[in-house]
Structures are given as structure tokens and as C-alpha cells.
Amino acid sequence: MEQTLPLRQKVLWPDLSLAQLMLPEDSNGIHLGAFIPQQREHVAVISLFIEPLPIDNKSHHCLDNVSPASNDADLQIQPGVMVRFRKFACEPDYQGYGIGTRLLRYALSIARDELHGSILWCDARVTAVDWYTRRGMSVTGRSFYKGPVEYVA
Ligand SMILES: CC(C)(COP(=O)(O)OP(=O)(O)OC[C@H]1O[C@@H](n2cnc3c(N)ncnc32)[C@H](O)[C@@H]1OP(=O)(O)O)[C@@H](O)C(=O)NCCC(=O)NCCS
């Protein structure tokens, strides 16, 4: 898990310390990294947690927000628990080469095959929503802020 922290910081929350980027639930998560030849360090990270999709629509933090489309066989996951992904980030120099797509697909396969997940969801930065929707996911709620960063719920 500790290995994910520098990319979380560099790509997602540069103003926070590494310690601040540790989640209380990290010790229960599955942390995945993408590696490329000739590069010892991972270039992208994503973390998976078994966590129900909040349904209390009185709080827009609880209407999180991205779920897999049912018409893409690769993205389908079987009935079971709900899996949340967090801290998805790709090294800026390596963005746009398909690494994030492949890592997310791998994360989906872990959520489906190992965690027996029925839904994969996340809080999505508004800046990443189009990226997710192009991959068959959908927005189900309203926007909200985490600090200065706008998300959709
Ligand atoms: C979101 C993020 C993780 C995606 O990772 P990525 O590696 O850049 O994503 P990809 O390369 O798979 O996709 C980016 C684009 O490259 C294109 N692409 C895919 N394979 C490619 C290839 N082999 N060569 C060139 N371009 C390619 C894709 O078509 C995609 O474009 P599209 O979205 O218009 O379809 C990354 O951009 C990132 O870290 N962003 C900042 C942090 C962030 O917003 N995280 C999500 C928080 S909710």
C-alpha cells in the first residue's frame, strides 16, 4: 500500500502529505499497480475496497456515482458485494497510452472474480467523468466537493 502513496500525492493531491493520503481502510484494500518494461516503479495505481454503494440520497456524498455498464462483457461483474475503487492515478508522463484503461479493466476483473462484486463504483472527479463514461460507466448522482476538487455523485 505504501508504494501507492507517492503517485496518489503527485497526481491527485499534491498539497497533502503522504501520511494524509493514507486511508483508514487501506489495510483492508487491494492495491494494484501498472508496470511497464524498463521502469522499476509502477506508473499507475488503483485501490479496491469492499464497500457498499451509499444509497442515502439526503447526502450527496452518499450517491456515489460510477457503475459498470451492462452492455460491455469485459466490464460486467457478477452479483455479490459492492466494490469501490479509489486513488486511481497514472503518472502524467505516461497518461494517454492506454495504461489507465488496462489497469481499470484489471481492477474490474479482480472485483468480479476475486471479490465477487456486483457493482464497481467510485467518487469521480468531474475532470475524469468523460473518461469513465467512454468506458461504459455512468453517473448516477449530483456533484459535490472534496476540498477544492469537484466530484460527481
Ligand atoms: C484517469 C487516468 C487514471 C487515466 O489513465 P490513462 O493511462 O491516462 O488513461 P488511458 O491512456 O487508458 O486513456 C486516455 C486516452 O488515451 C487513449 N489511448 C488508449 N490507448 C492508447 C494508446 N495505446 N496510445 C495512445 N492513446 C491511447 C484513450 O483512447 C484515451 O482517450 P479517451 O479517453 O478519449 O478514450 C489518468 O488520466 C489520471 O491519472 N488522471 C488524473 C487523476 C485522475 O483524474 N484520476 C481519476 C480520479 S476519479
pLDDT, averaged per 10 consecutive residues of the chain (153 residues), comes to: 94 96 96 92 96 58 37 50 95 96 96 93 94 91 87 81
Q: CA 94, CA 117: separation in Å to the nearest integer?
A: 29
Candidates 3.40.50.300, 3.40.630.30, 3.30.70.360, 1.20.1080.10; CATH matching 2-152: 3.40.630.30
Count of beta carbons in the 10 Å neighbourhood of residue 62? 15
Whole-number Å distance between alpha carbons of 76 and 40 = 32
| CB of 140 shorter than 6 A to ligand 1 | no
Is 58's C-beta closer than 6 angstroms to any atom of ligand 1? no
Q: What residue owns the CA closest to ligand 1's atom 48?
A: 124
CA atoms within 13 A on the CB side of 28: 9
Measure 131 CA to ligand 1 centroid, in angstroms: 7
The pLDDT assigned to 22 comes to 96
Residue linked to cell 493531491: 13
Q: How far is CA 133 from CA 4, 9, 63, 130, in A?
A: 25, 25, 17, 5
Ligand 1 atom 46: residue of nearest CA? 88
Predicted confidence at residue 4, as pLDDT, reads 95
Backbone angles phi, psi at 4, to 5 degrees: -80, -20
- Domain ranges in the chain are 2-152
pLDDT value at position 144? Answer: 86
Q: What span, in angstroms and rounded, lies between the C-alpha atoms of 124 and 68? A: 13
> What pLDDT, on a 0 to 100 scale, did the predictor assign at position 140?
82
